Amino acid sequence: MLGARAWLGSVLLLPRAGVGLAASRRCPGVWPRTWPHRNPSRGSSSRDKDRSATVSSSVPMPAGGKGSHPSSTPQRVPNRLIHEKSPYLLQHAYNPVDWYPWGQEAFDKARKENKPIFLSVGYSTCHWCHMMEEESFQNEEIGRLLSEDFVSVKVDREERPDVDKVYMTFVQATSSGGGWPMNVWLTPNLQPFVGGTYFPPEDGLTRVGFRTVLLRIREQWKQNKNTLLENSQRVTTALLARSEISMGDRQLPPSAATMNNRCFQQLNEGYDEEYGGFAEAPKFPTPVILSFLFSYWLSHQLTQDGSRAQQMALHTLKMMANGGIRDHVGQGFHRYSTDCQWHVPHFEKMLYDQAQLAVAYSQAFQISGDEFYSDVAKGILQYVARSLSHRSGGFYSAEDADSPPERGMRPKEGAYYVWTVKEVQQLLPEPVLGATEPLTSGQLLMKHYGLTEAGNISPSQDPKGELQGQNVLTVRYSLELTAARFGLDVEAVRTLLNTGLEKLFQARKHRPKPHLDSKMLAAWNGLMVSGYAVTGAVLGQDRLINYATNGAKFLKRHMFDVASGRLMRTCYTGSGGTVEHSNPPCWGFLEDYAFVVRGLLDLYEASQESAWLEWALRLQDTQDRLFWDSQGGGYFCNEAELGAGLPLRLKDDQDGAEPSANSVSAHNLLRLHGFTGHKDWMDKCVCLLTAFSERMRRVPVALPEMVRALSAQQQTLKQIVICGDRQAKDTKALVQCVHSVYIPNKVLILADGDPSSFLSRQLPFLSTLRRLEDQATAYVCENQACSMPITDPCELRKLLHP
Tell me the pLDDT of the chain averaged across its residues.
90
DSSP label at residue 205? S
With residue 722 as reference, give the H or E element that holds it.
strand 718-723
What is the model's pLDDT at position 641?
A: 80
pLDDT level of residue 645 (50, 70, 90 thresholds)? confident
Q: Is 454 exposed, middle or buried (0-12, 13-18, 19+ CB in 10 A)?
A: exposed
DSSP label at residue 447? H
Return d(Cα 555, Cα 529) in angstroms, integer: 10
Q: Does 744 sit behind a cis peptide bond, omega within 30 degrees of 0 on the bond before it?
A: no
Decide if pLDDT at 666 tops 50: yes
Q: Is 369 exposed, middle or buried (0-12, 13-18, 19+ CB in 10 A)?
A: exposed
Return d(Cα 349, Cα 330) in angstroms, integer: 12
DSSP string for residues in 578-644: -EE--SS--B--HHHHHHHHHHHHHHHHHH--HHHHHHHHHHHHHHHHHHB-TTT-SB-SS-TTTTT
Decide if pLDDT at 95 tops 70: yes
pLDDT digits (tens, 9 = 90+) for 341-365: 999 999 999 999 999 999 999 999 9
Decide if pLDDT at 20 tops 80: no
The residue count of the chain comes to 802
Mean pLDDT of 394-419: 95
pLDDT digits (tens, 9 = 90+) for 292-339: 999 999 999 999 999 999 999 999 999 999 999 999 999 999 999 999
pLDDT level of residue 54 (50, 70, 90 thresholds)? very low
Residues 6+ apart with CB under 8 A from 532: 358, 381, 544, 545, 547, 548, 551
DSSP label at residue 251? -
Segment of 50-59, 148-157, 635-644 carrying the highest mean pLDDT? 148-157
Q: Residue 363 CB: number of other CB atoms within 10 A?
A: 24
Q: What percent of the chain has pLDDT over 90?
A: 81
What is the model's pLDDT at position 30?
A: 38
What is the model's pLDDT at position 37?
A: 55
pLDDT level of residue 16 (50, 70, 90 thresholds)? very low
Q: Residue 667 CB: number of other CB atoms within 10 A?
A: 23
pLDDT digits (tens, 9 = 90+) for 671-718: 999 999 999 999 999 999 999 999 999 999 999 999 999 999 999 899
What is the model's pLDDT at position 51?
A: 29
DSSP label at residue 195? E
Decide if pLDDT at 377 tops 90: yes
Return d(Cα 639, Cα 566) in angstroms, integer: 11
DSSP string for residues in 514-580: PPEE--EEHHHHHHHHHHHHHHHHHHT-HHHHHHHHHHHHHHHHHSEETTTTEEBSEEEE-GGG-EE
Residues 704, 655: contact at Cβ < 8 Å?
yes
What is the model's pLDDT at position 76?
A: 80
pLDDT level of residue 36 (50, 70, 90 thresholds)? low
The DSSP bridge partners found for residue 386 are: none
Return the CATH number of the domain spanning residue range 716-801: 3.40.30.10
Decide if pLDDT at 31 tops 60: no
Decide if pLDDT at 33 tops 80: no
What's the fold here for domain 80-243?
A: Glutaredoxin (3.40.30)
What is the model's pLDDT at position 29?
A: 35
Residues 588, 567: contact at Cβ < 8 Å?
yes
pLDDT level of residue 11 (50, 70, 90 thresholds)? very low
Instruction: With H, G, I as helix, E, B as strand and everything else as coil, classify residue 689.
Output: helix
Describe the crossing of helices 371-387 and 542-558 by its angle, rounded to 10 degrees. 40
Residues 472, 457: contact at Cβ < 8 Å?
yes
Q: Does 28 sit behind a cis peptide bond, omega within 30 degrees of 0 on the bond before it?
A: yes
Residues 44, 279: contact at Cβ < 8 Å?
yes
> Which one, of 361, 378, 356, 374, lies nearest residue 705 by Cα?
356
Return d(Cα 148, Cα 164) in angstroms, integer: 25
Boundaries of every domain in the chain:
80-243, 269-516, 716-801
Residues 628, 684: contact at Cβ < 8 Å?
yes
Return d(Cα 7, Cα 659) in angstroms, integer: 34
What is the model's pLDDT at position 464?
A: 80
Decide if pLDDT at 65 tops 50: no
Sign of CA dihedral 663, 668, 671, 673: negative
Decide if pLDDT at 34 tops 80: no
Q: Report how far Cα 371 is from the mean position of its chain's Cα atoms.
A: 25
> Which one, of 9, 11, 49, 53, lies nearest residue 32 by Cα?
53
Residues 6+ apart with CB under 8 A from 293: 264, 267, 309, 310, 312, 313
Residues 188, 116: contact at Cβ < 8 Å?
yes
pLDDT level of residue 240 (50, 70, 90 thresholds)? confident
pLDDT digits (tens, 9 = 90+) for 540-574: 999 999 999 999 999 999 999 999 999 999 999 99
Residues 6+ apart with CB under 8 A from 725: 731, 752, 776
Mean pLDDT of 67-89: 75
Return d(Cα 165, Cα 149) in angstroms, integer: 26
Sign of CA dihedral 124, 126, 132, 135: positive
Mean pLDDT of 436-462: 95
Return d(Cα 670, Cα 745) in angstroms, integer: 9
The DSSP bridge partners found for residue 628 are: 635
What is the model's pLDDT at position 39?
A: 56
Q: Is 641 exposed, middle or buried (0-12, 13-18, 19+ CB in 10 A)?
A: exposed
HSE-CB for 308 with a 13 A CA cutoff:
12
Query: Do 80-243 and 716-801 fold alike per CATH?
Result: yes
What is the model's pLDDT at position 376?
A: 98
Mean pLDDT of 453-477: 93
Q: What is the pTM of this model?
A: 0.91
pLDDT digits (tens, 9 = 90+) for 178-221: 899 999 999 999 999 999 999 999 998 888 899 999 999 999 99
Q: 252-256, 477-481, 639-643 — which is least confidently predicted?
A: 639-643
